[in-house]
């Protein structure tokens, strides 16, 4: 059963607990993580918690920097939910205090939900999805997983209204990332993706993909890709905790490669599934 947690107490999902004067609610003054649980086991949990702590430090949140604190909370949430395949959403804000832009003298506010995993429609996996291009209108610190997602949701909504799954954002002609995903292209057998800078979120699925391609002996290049290069790619795929490895077959009405799910993307998705289930990958000889 889906459950929630708010500052020390496990509660029902629909219980109303957040006061009006809460900074996540009023300012988006906080950070968050989304973690996928496969068969009772949170995937790359340490990496998610480490990123949460980094995000918190980057916005000067007074957070507990102990990885185990969050590990225990998340594990308890999962076990109380009784769910085997679920999504954990964990949020830390600058706390509850009368509205004032200056930092309050208040403890941080920690909330969490554990819900059944949002399954990707089968046709998206089998046929791939469509995407639009959208200018990256976000701020200069996109490496922080901040609650401020207005540019992301506006671009995602525009994609949806155009019958697309994702908006691929770009800055000065170069692809940055998706509204809630990292973007990769495949060209002549090699994979290219945006290097990690302050302009993008260091995706945890991106780390998993990097490890997988290494084991599968697929060349992997971290290099800025132009929107033109993306349209000329053999394959395009996006990654995220919830989308995993998802093929993109059309961008701005342009067919990518054959218009079908490519071989490299399929191989990677299969390998990812194995890792998520805790199986070992067969090395390519
Ligand atoms: N979003 N880039 C952005 C802007 C994101 O919001 C996300 C994830 C990613 C991929 O990161 P990861 O592989 O760690 O999930 C990249 C989550 C899923 C969300 O906001 O729901």
C-alpha of residue 181 to centroid of ligand 1, in Å: 5
The answer to the question of residue 282 being in a domain is: no
How far is residue 149's CA from residue 8's CA, in Å, rounded to a whole number? 26
Of 46, 60, 118, 145, which one is the catalytic site residue?
145
86, 116, 146 — which closes off a domain?
Answer: 116
Ligand 1 contact via 181 beta carbon (within 6 Å): yes
Position 277 scores a pLDDT of 83
Alpha helices by DSSP H, 91-250? 122-127, 150-161, 204-215, 227-231
59, 90, 116 — which closes off a domain?
Answer: 116
Same domain? 168 vs 151: yes
Position 210 confidence tier, pLDDT thresholds 50, 70, 90: very high
Question: Which residue shows structure tokens 């908006």?
Answer: 167
The answer to the question of residue 222 being in a domain is: yes
Same domain? 206 vs 140: yes
User: CA nearest 215: which of 126, 279, 125, 128?
Assistant: 279
* Annotation says 145 is catalytic: yes
User: CA nearest 170: which of 223, 224, 246?
Assistant: 224
C-alpha of residue 240 to centroid of ligand 1, in Å: 5
Same domain? 131 vs 267: yes
Ligand 1 contact via 180 beta carbon (within 6 Å): yes
Ligand 1 contact via 146 beta carbon (within 6 Å): no
Q: Which residues pair with 72 in a beta bridge?
A: none
Handedness of CA 245, 247, 253, 256 (dihedral sign): positive
C-alpha of residue 33 to centroid of ligand 1, in Å: 8
User: CA nearest 215: which of 257, 277, 260, 274?
Assistant: 274
Same domain? 247 vs 140: yes
The answer to the question of residue 107 being in a domain is: yes
How far is residue 276's CA from residue 209's CA, in Å, rounded to a whole number? 11
> What is the extent of the structural domain holding 143?
122-276
Instruction: Give the mean pLDDT of the chain.
Output: 96
pTM to 2 decimals?
Answer: 0.97
Ligand 1 contact via 182 beta carbon (within 6 Å): yes
Position 284 confidence tier, pLDDT thresholds 50, 70, 90: low
Mean pLDDT computed over 157-185: 98
- Tell me, what DSSP letter sits at residue 14? T
Same domain? 238 vs 170: yes
The answer to the question of residue 157 being in a domain is: yes
82, 101, 116 — which closes off a domain?
Answer: 116
Atom of ligand 1 nearest to the CA of 243: 18
The answer to the question of residue 283 being in a domain is: no
Q: How many structural domains are present in the chain?
A: 2
Checking if the pLDDT of 283 tops 90, the result is no
Question: Which residue shows structure tokens 């057998």?
Answer: 189
Same domain? 182 vs 66: no
Task: Return the structure tokens found at 160.
Answer: 């949806």
Ligand 1 contact via 205 beta carbon (within 6 Å): yes
List Cα–Cα distances, 105 to 62, 95, 100, in angstroms: 10, 9, 11
Same domain? 133 vs 93: no
């Amino acid at each position: 059963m889906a459950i929630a947690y708010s500052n020390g107490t496990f509660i029902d999902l629909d219980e109303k607990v957040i006061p009006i004067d809460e900074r996540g609610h009023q300012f988006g003054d906080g950070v968050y993580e989304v973690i996928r649980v496969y068969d009772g086991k949170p995937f790359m949990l340490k990496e998610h918690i480490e990123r949460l702590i980094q995000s918190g430090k980057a916005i000067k949140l007074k957070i507990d920097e102990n990885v185990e604190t969050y590990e225990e909370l998340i594990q308890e949430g999962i076990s109380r939910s009784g769910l085997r395949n679920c999504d954990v959403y964990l949020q830390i804000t600058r706390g509850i205090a009368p509205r004032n832009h200056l930092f309050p003298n208040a403890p941080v506010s920690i909330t969490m939900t554990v819900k059944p995993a949002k399954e990707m429609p089968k046709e998206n996996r089998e046929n791939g999805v469509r995407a639009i291009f959208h200018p990256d209108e976000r701020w200069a610190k996109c490496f922080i997983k901040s609650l401020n997602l207005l540019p992301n949701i506006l671009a995602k909504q525009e994609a949806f209204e155009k019958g697309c799954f994702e908006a691929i954002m770009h800055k000065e002609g170069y692809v940055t990332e998706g509204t809630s995903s990292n973007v990769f292209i495949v060209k002549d057998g090699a994979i290219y993706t945006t290097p990690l800078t302050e302009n993008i979120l260091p995706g945890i699925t991106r780390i998993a993909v990097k490890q997988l391609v290494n084991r599968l002996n697929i060349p992997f290049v971290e290099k800025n890709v132009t929107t033109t290069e993306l349209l000329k790619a053999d394959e395009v795929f996006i990654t995220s905790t919830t989308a995993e490895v998802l093929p993109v077959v059309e961008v701005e009405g342009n067919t990518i490669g054959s218009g079908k799910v490519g071989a490299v993307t399929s191989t990677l998705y299969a390998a990812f599934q194995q890792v998520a289930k805790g199986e070992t990958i067969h090395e390519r000889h």
